[in-house]
Amino acid sequence: MVTTSPSDPMTELATPVESPAKASPSTKANNPNPIAEQDAMIEIDDVSFSYDMGKTNVLKNISFNIPAGKVTALIGPSGCGKSTLLRCLNRMNDLVDTSKVTTGQIRIMGQDINAHDVDPIELRKQVGMVFQKYNPFPKSIYENVAYGLRIQGIKNKARLDEAVEKSLQRAALWNEVKDRLNSSALGLSGGQQQRLCIARTIAVNPRIVLMDEPCSALDPIATARIEELIAELQEEFTIVIVTHNMQQATRVSDRTAFFYLGELIEYDDTTTIFGNPSVTQTEDYVSGRFG
């Protein structure tokens, strides 16, 4: 996957991974690792992260495993490090010169993604990202979705047509745009543009889709469409979503991780985090008493 060697663990593990048992033992605070390694798509193992070459850590010794084929929500007050952690998962933080993973390891399908032989561009094909502000390219609807495929060297028109249609269908946008594929993507509504960005992300068939507050710029109807879409996409992809919307976390996610000041405070089934959390801080946050 990240490298082309057939013995590459990411390639070897690119077979369906068993979903984690919902009945795994309840998570306790500070030891939030209820998902067995073999069931984890992403293993975050004692990760600390700094934007100033290690002088201050904005993520502090984070450990938890993210299950395959599920939706995991990251919640917590502004500035607690949710986006930073999300960007660690596809090495987007590499773009910040002074950034540094100061401790620990992130493994995706068993592969240490910060290992020297991992190509971040290849990694990002497997770990796609959807941003808060939808950001289609100033190109046609078709070309937005075909973009990643063209970069992969796919030129065959029939193959591109098929992939564009499939991705737009998977993103629940096909029916709305099939008659205007050559029109500018910028002419779509905000909610449509965000679904287009999702189509563009899934067109290259990633294993994981990271979403950083994907609905925060959308109205309630467009938000509901994206939430429905997330539920459908979870059958094919492992999804990690940052959200400030507590109702959204309860609606879309299977598991929730609560962060505060760079620390993982609690990680568990979403129903437990919102219904019966172990830590008072979690309870205060999910009930709106702070944050």
d(CA 164, CA 235) in angstroms, rounded, equals 19
Sheet of 238-242, strands arranged across: 127-130, 208-212, 238-242, 71-75, 255-260, 263-269
Smallest distance from the beta carbon of 134 to ligand ATP, in angstroms?
A: 16
Q: What angle do CA 204, 238, 91 make, to 5 degrees?
A: 70
Tokens found for residue 137:
């390219």
From 65-73, 77-85, 157-165, 169-177, span contacting ligand ATP (CB under 6 A)? 77-85
Q: How far apart are CA 143 and CA 183, in angstroms?
A: 10
Q: Does 193 bind Mg ion (CB under 5 A)?
A: no
Comparison of 83 and 93: residue with beta carbon closer to Mg ion: 83
The residue with its CB nearest to Mg ion is 83
- Looking at the Cβ atoms of 93 and 192, the one nearer to ligand ATP is 93
96 binds, options Mg ion, ligand ATP, none, Cβ within 5 to 8 A by partner type: ligand ATP
80 contacts ligand ATP (rule: CB under 6 A): yes
Residue 275 near which of Mg ion, ligand ATP, none (CB within 5-8 Å, type-dependent): none
Residue whose CB is less far from ligand ATP, 58 or 279: 58
Taking a C-beta distance cutoff of 8 angstroms, is the pair 41, 16 a contact?
Answer: no
In this structure, what is the dihedral angle of CA atoms 56, 244, 67, 96, given to the nearest 10 degrees? -40
Residue closer to ligand ATP (CB basis): 65 or 83? 83
- The Cα 76–Cα 39 span in angstroms is 25
CB 46 within 8 A of CB 103: yes
- Report, in Å, the least distance between residue 153 CB and ligand ATP: 32
Nearest distance from C-beta of residue 233 to ligand ATP, angstroms: 22
- The C-alpha atoms of residue 205 and residue 137 are separated, in whole angstroms, by 19
Query: CB of residue 163 vs Mg ion: minimum separation in angstroms?
Result: 31
Which of 71-79, 110-118, 134-142, 218-226 is the region at the interface with ligand ATP (rule: CB under 6 A)? 71-79
Residue 58 vs 172, nearer CB to ligand ATP: 58
Tokens of 212: 């950083």
Q: Is the Cβ of residue 134 or residue 142 nearer to Mg ion in the bound state?
A: 134
Instruction: Identify whether the C-beta of residue 212 lies closer than 8 Å to the C-beta of residue 83.
Output: yes
Binding to Mg ion (CB under 5 A): which residues in 54-113? 83
Q: Min. distance of Cβ 77 from ligand ATP in angstroms? A: 7
The DSSP bridge partners found for residue 47 are: 62
Site residues for ligand ATP, 51-70, by CB under 6 A, read: 51, 58
- How many other C-beta atoms are found inside a 10 Å radius of the C-beta of residue 153? 6
Residues making contact with ligand ATP (CB under 6 A): 51, 58, 76, 78-84, 96
